Amino acid sequence: MAKVNGATLMARSLKQQGVEYMFGIVGFPVQPIAAAAQEAGIRYIGMRNEQSASYAAQAVGYLTGRPGAALVVSGPGVVHGLAGLANAQQNCWPMILIGGASATYQNGMGAFQEERQVQIASPFCKFAHAVEHVHRVPFYVEMATRYSIYGRPGATYLDMPDDIILGEVDEEKVHQAATVADPPRMQALDADVEQALNVLESAERPLVIVGKGMAWSRAEDEVRKFIERTQVPFLASPMGKGVMDDSHPLSVGAARSHALQEADVIVLLGARLNWIMHFGLPPRFNRNVRIVQVDIAPEAISQNVPAEVGLVGDGRAIVGQMNKALANRQWFYPKDTPWHAAIAEKSAANAKQIKPMADDDSHPMNYYRAFKDISAWLPQNAVIIGEGANTMDIGRTQMPNKEARVRLDAGSYGTMGIGMGFTIAAAVVHPDRPTVSVSGDSAIGFSGMEIETACRYNLPVKIVVLNNGGIGGGVGPLPDDKTKIPPRALIWGARYDKMMEAFGGRGWHVEDPTKLRGVLDEAMAFKGPALVNVLLNPEAGRKPQKFGWHTS
Ligand SMILES: Cc1ncc(C[n+]2csc(CCOP(=O)(O)OP(=O)(O)O)c2C)c(N)n1
Ligand SMILES: [Mg+2]
C-alpha cells in the first residue's frame, strides 16, 4: 500500500486549501516540508528572518484572500514568527504559521529547540493546535485555513513535531478534508439598513470612513457606488486608501482633522475607532457624533463609542444592501453645503502650507520635496509600501492610491520591520505591478537583510530610503564622544544603497533634490531590485500639526 509522510501531507493539504505561497527558513525539523511544498507547486521563498517570513505570509493573505504560509523551525524560529502573528492579529489579516517542533517522544526532556509553542502562539491566534497524528494533517490544515479567513480574518498556528513530519501512513488511512470555500458573505437586517440610512439622511455634516475591512471584502465597487450615490465626503484609513480613489473630489484626506472633529454622523465602513482614529473621542471627534458602524465582527460594534446602528457582516454584501435600499430614496447629500465648503477651504489651506516645502530645492532636502518627485514618479498601478514615522505619515498624505489593496504599511500594530516582508510578498503576488517601498532609515534596518532575498529571487522591487539619520529625525554628524549619541540617532547618510549593490541589485545615493527624479527614473528602468538612498535634512519634519499623530 502506498505510504505518505507528514511533510508531503502538509504540503498537499496547503495546496488543496489554496495556499499558493510559503515563506520560511529551513532547518530542523521543517526542511522536508519546504521541499514537499515546492514539489506540490507552492511557491517557496526562503527569507532571512522568521519575522519577515510571517509578515510576508499575512500580506499574501490580505492581497489574495487566501492565507499565506510561514514555515519556521522549532523554538527560536517560532519565537521570531510570533512577531508576525501579533501583527496579523491586529491587522485582521489571514496567515498560517507552521512551526516545526521537537519530536513528541522527547517532550519535556530538554530536546533541541524545545519550546511550548502552541501555548506561546495561542494569544495571537484564532486557532492554534499541535498535529498529533500524521493522518490528521489535512484536518488541521482545513481548520487553520477556515479560521484564518472566516469571520474576522487572522492568524492561525500549526505545530508540526519532527516525528509527525517524518511519520508515514497508508494513503488510504489519511483523513481527507474538504476544501474551504471563500467566506460566506453575511448580510444585515433590512430594517437595520433602513435605520442606518435614516441616520445618514438626518446628518448635517456626514462623513464616511473607509477602512481596510472594505479592501479585505473586495467592496471597492460597492463603496464607490455608495459614495457616488450619496455624495457624502469620505476619509480613508491608512490601508483603506484606494478603495476610493484618493484623488476623488469627495476625499477629505487633506482636511482630515477638521472632518473628524466636525462630523455629526460618521458611517464607519470596516474601520475601527482605535488609536489611528483617535478612539472616536473628543477633542478629535465631535462629542455628540452619531455612529453607523459596519463590521464583520459583532463584538467590534460600539468599541469606544456606542454605535447608533450596527450592521454586522460582510462589507461588500452590506454596502451592496445599502446601495439597493438607496434606490428607493430620493435623498443624497447636497453639493452646496457649508460642510463641503469648510472641507474644501481646509484642504486648500493645507496645500498652501505644503507648497513652499515641496518646492524647496535646498539641500539636504525635506520630506515634502522628496515626496513631490516620488509621487509624480510612482506608476498608477504600483503597490506602495510605507514604513517609518514621518516617512510613513507624510507619505500617506503625499502618495495617492487609485486602487484597493495596493497600500501596505505599519498598520494597526504600528510595527517597524514589516516593510521588506510586505514588499517581497507584493512582488511575488503581483509580478505585473511595480512594487515600491518608501522606508525611513530606521525602518529599513529592522529587516534590511531581506534585501538579499529580493536580490536572490531577482524581484524588481524599488526601495526608496528617506535618510534623515534617525528615528523620526536625527542629529546629523554624530558627536565624537560616543556615550553622548542621542537614542534616536543613526548614521546620517549611511549608504543603504550599497547594501543593495552588495547583493547584486543596483543602488543610488541622492543629495541634490534636482537630481532625484532622474535617479528614480533610472531605478524604475532597471529590471532588477533597486534602492535609492535619499539624504534628508535631519531636522526636516512634518508640517506643524495641531495634534500629533501618535497621541490622542
Ligand atoms: C517593532 C518596533 N520597534 C520600534 C518602534 C518605534 N518606532 C516607531 S517609528 C520608528 C522608526 C522611525 O524612524 P524612520 O524609519 O527613520 O522614519 P522617520 O520618521 O525618521 O522618517 C521606530 C523605531 C516600532 N514602531 N516598532
Ligand atoms: Mg529616519
Q: Which three cell numbers stand for residue 424?
A: 517581497
Beta bridge partner(s), residue 70: 23, 97
SS (H, E, C) 76-92: HHHHHHHHHHHHHHHHC
Q: Looking at the predicted structure, is the pLDDT value of residue 549 above 50?
A: no
Q: For residue 524, what pLDDT band results from cuts at 50, 70 and 90?
A: very high
User: Residues with Cβ within 5 Å of ion ligand 2?
Assistant: 440-442, 468
Instruction: Note the pLDDT tens digit of each residue in 486-518.
Output: 999 999 999 999 999 999 999 999 999 999 999
Q: Looking at the predicted structure, is the pLDDT value of residue 17 above 80?
A: yes
Residue to substitute in 367, 397, 416 for testing ligand 1 pocket (most ligand atoms within 8 angstroms of CB): 416
Contact 14, 42 (CB under 8 A): yes
Instruction: Note the pLDDT tens digit of each residue in 370-413.
Output: 999 999 999 999 999 999 999 999 999 999 999 999 999 999 99
Nearest-atom index, ligand 1, CA of 389? 19
CA distance 110 to 496: 41
Residues 6+ apart with CB under 8 A from 13: 137, 138, 141, 142, 177
pLDDT of residue 548: 45
pLDDT of residue 253: 86
For residue 438, the ligand closest to its alpha carbon is 1
Residue minimizing CA distance to atom 7 of ligand 1? 416
Amino acid 547 reads F
Name the nearest CA neighbour of 319 among 451, 405, 218, 183. Answer: 218
Nearest-atom index, ligand 1, CA of 414? 25
Instruction: Note the pLDDT tens digit of each residue in 297-331.
Output: 999 999 999 999 999 999 999 999 999 999 999 99
Nearest-atom index, ligand 1, CA of 536? 21
Backbone dihedral angles phi then psi of residue 70, each to the nearest 5 degrees: -120, 135
- Ligand 1 centroid – CA 445 distance (Å): 10
DSSP output for 225-287: HHHHHH---EEE-TTTBTTB-TT-TTB-GGGHHHHHHH-SEEEEES---SGGGGGG-TTTS-T
CA distance 408 to 88: 13
Tell me the Cα Rg of the chain.
24
Residue minimizing CA distance to atom 9 of ligand 1? 389
Name the nearest CA neighbour of 459 among 422, 498, 406. Answer: 422
Q: Which three cell numbers stand for residue 528?
A: 532588477
pLDDT of residue 217: 98
What are the pocket residues of ligand 1 if the criterion is a CB atom closer than 6 Å to any ligand atom?
Answer: 388-391, 414-417, 440-443, 466, 468, 470-473
- Ligand 1 centroid – CA 98 distance (Å): 28
